[in-house]
Structure 1
Amino acid sequence: MTAREIFTGGVAVITGAGAGIGAGLARHASQLGMTVVIADVDVDAATRLRDELVADGRAAYAYGCDVRDPDEVVELAERTHRDVGNVRLLVNNAGVEQFGYLWDTPVANWNRVVDVNVNGVFHGVRAFLPRMLATPEQSWVWNLSSIGGVAAVPLQAPYIMSKHAVLALTECLRLEVELAGHDDHVHVQAVLPGAVVSNIFESAGGVSDGDVAAAESQRTAMLDIKAEAMDPIAAAEVVFEQAAQGRFYLLTQPDYVGSAMTERATVLATQRPPELRTKQRFEPAEH
């Protein structure tokens, strides 16, 4: 079956949907005929996207939500089910970046990455999944990891750690849904994008003490890749089609991200320590 055949008519809730791949997923879901709930801490961005979709005759809602706050995510779930309907697709996408040596990273910046990238996914699963399990309707949960979830990269340790955590969480969640006997109608999938056009690097945290230059140099290096980054709608189209095929790992750039996964598997299989490359190029998931 195609993505259009599977997802048309359902409700999609996407966190961090005001920009980047989240907005791309929202736009493509809308093109497929889904009713889209655009959730973002930036209410203005969410509202602008909603207005764009509604102006095209599509059904869309914009809700402010800080995924760091479990009560706000629960309210998002309750409001969605009350005002919009049962959720066919939940996309836990909200994410932030951080540059700099780990020992220079401010505690507040570390907590921000963990709270948004990891805890935000947990809060989303906890708020939405029980209702999805309780109905026999087919539904999907996508958690946004990254090519960074299968890589080791200096000067981005908090982000990389968070995306490894999301990937492990998603793999365990898939097993738990199967163990509980719900895998016939609830499909858990991990999204691993490569570089997708976004403003994540501009809004990324840095350091105020220590080696500030190293942190900003890494930010500059990441900004340089934006010229080659994938269009968010094109990335979303690939993800939806792979999901429709029943794949677990959904890769925006199958060859590039797939090669990173193969490299990771080789490193683990051979127990080779991480190697610092002269020109280490990393293209993470964008939000």
Structure 2
Amino acid sequence: MTKEEELFSGGVAVITGAGAGIGMGLARRCGAIGMTVVVTDIDAARAEAVAADIRAAGGKAEAIRVDVSRPEALDVLARQVFDRHGAVRLLVNNAGIETLGYTWEIPAARWEATLNVNIHGIVHGVRAFVPHMLRAGQEAWIANLSSIGAFGQMPTQTAYIMSKHAIQSFSECLYLEMQVAGAPIHVSAVVPGMVKTSIFDPEAGQGEKGMGEPESAARHRATMAHMMAAHGMDLDEACRRFLARIAAGEFWVDSQPEMTRQSLDARAAFLTEQTAPALNETTRQLLGLG
């Protein structure tokens, strides 16, 4: 029996944005090790499809439509889950969207959606669930989706990058708050490197009317999608690694440690040397600058 099976089997996992991507992969892994999985997503059909796959494989899962950009929706979700199941052993604040384009070309509605989902969705996920976790008095785990992008810069991915910088610092402070409060809640920052998901698919950049990316983003999105398909880690393998390290109580939970180390080293050098931000060769290639 693995460590995650020992700790998590029989418990309840709540995963936001679990209708696709890393959320979906983590939901499947949680179901496979014997957890009851609450699959949430803004797209009810996608959430139900993932829950149905878990049930078809012999697991336990239910789907709930949740818009994490609305704090009150997360309050309702927390009450609903704790009333139904009594306790939550694992909360994964995963929901997030990628937004590309020059800062001044991204519509205001797209900016608001990106920040509300990527930052406020995680903050209010914690705010809504932690009081219930503390009242339950049981050991629990919270994993917040950060990113390798939390340690660098990428022009035209500014909205996403800044949101992940925010979530990394939020998770670091939350980890310390649990220590100060003496709470039996472990906190992890999940730092995916390059994992094969649908986050750069063309339709993900379209959004609803007035919420799409500028036309200039299409080329960068296509380049990133190609790179991810060619070089990304298999989704299920990445999620297996993530869950094992969350169960181990690690704060730093990444998919590709060498990639993380390179990013952290570069960030440390940037801060220590206090140089101006610069376009490195990889960034120039991604942006088609030669």
Scaled by the length of structure 2, the TM-score of the pair is 0.91
Name the counterpart of 2:243.
240
Q: Is the 8 A contact 2:187 2:249 kept in 1?
A: no
- Confirm or deny that 1:110 pairs with 2:114: no
Name the counterpart of 1:190.
189
Q: Is the 8 A contact 1:145 1:163 kept in 2?
A: yes
**Displacement over 6 Å in runs of 4+:** none
Q: How far 1:244 sits from its partner (Å)?
A: 2.6
Report the secondary structure of 1:190's partner residue.
Answer: strand
Q: Which amino acid aligns with 2:226?
A: D
Deviations 1:230-255 (A, max 9, x none): 22211111111222332211001111
Report the secondary structure of 2:245's partner residue.
Answer: helix
Distance in 2 of aligned mates of 1:58 and 1:116:
28
Match of residue 221, structure 2, among 219, 222, 225 = 219
- Confirm or deny that 1:179 pairs with 2:180: yes
Size of the aligned set, in residue pairs, is 279
Match of residue 254, structure 2, among 248, 251, 254 = 251
Report the secondary structure of 1:162's partner residue.
Answer: helix
Name the counterpart of 2:55.
54
Deviations 1:61-118 (A, max 9, x none): 1000000111111111111112233100000000001111111111111101101000
Q: How far 1:205 sits from its partner (Å)?
A: 5.3
Q: Is the 8 A contact 1:9 1:35 kept in 2?
A: yes
Q: Which amino acid aligns with 1:60?
A: A
1:1-287 alignment, distance < 5 Å: 2-182=3-183, 185-202=184-201, 203-204=204-205, 212=214, 214-227=216-229, 228-280=231-283
Q: Which amino acid aligns with 1:278?
A: E
Distance in 2 of aligned mates of 1:41 and 1:67:
8
Q: Is the 8 A contact 1:98 1:205 kept in 2?
A: no
Report the secondary structure of 2:194's partner residue.
Answer: coil
Q: Percent identity?
A: 42
Structure 1 residue ranges without an equivalent (≥5): none
Q: How far 1:11 sits from its partner (Å)?
A: 0.5
Report the secondary structure of 1:60's partner residue.
Answer: strand
Distance in 1 of aligned mates of 2:285 and 2:262:
13
Report the secondary structure of 2:205's partner residue.
Answer: coil
Deviations 1:33-62 (A, max 9, x none): 111000000100010111111122211010
Q: Which amino acid aligns with 2:272?
A: A
Q: How far 1:2 sits from its partner (Å)?
A: 1.5
Q: Is the 8 A contact 2:200 2:225 kept in 1?
A: yes
Distance in 2 of aligned mates of 1:204 and 1:282:
21
Distance in 1 of aligned mates of 2:284 and 2:54:
35
Q: Is the 8 A contact 2:242 2:253 kept in 1?
A: yes
Distance in 1 of aligned mates of 2:165 and 2:49:
32
Q: Is the 8 A contact 2:151 2:267 kept in 1?
A: yes
Q: Is the 8 A contact 2:111 2:159 kept in 1?
A: yes
Q: Is the 8 A contact 1:153 1:282 kept in 2?
A: no
Q: Is the 8 A contact 1:97 1:205 kept in 2?
A: no
Structure 2 residue ranges without an equivalent (≥5): none
Q: Which amino acid aligns with 2:278?
A: E
Q: Which amino acid aligns with 1:44?
A: A
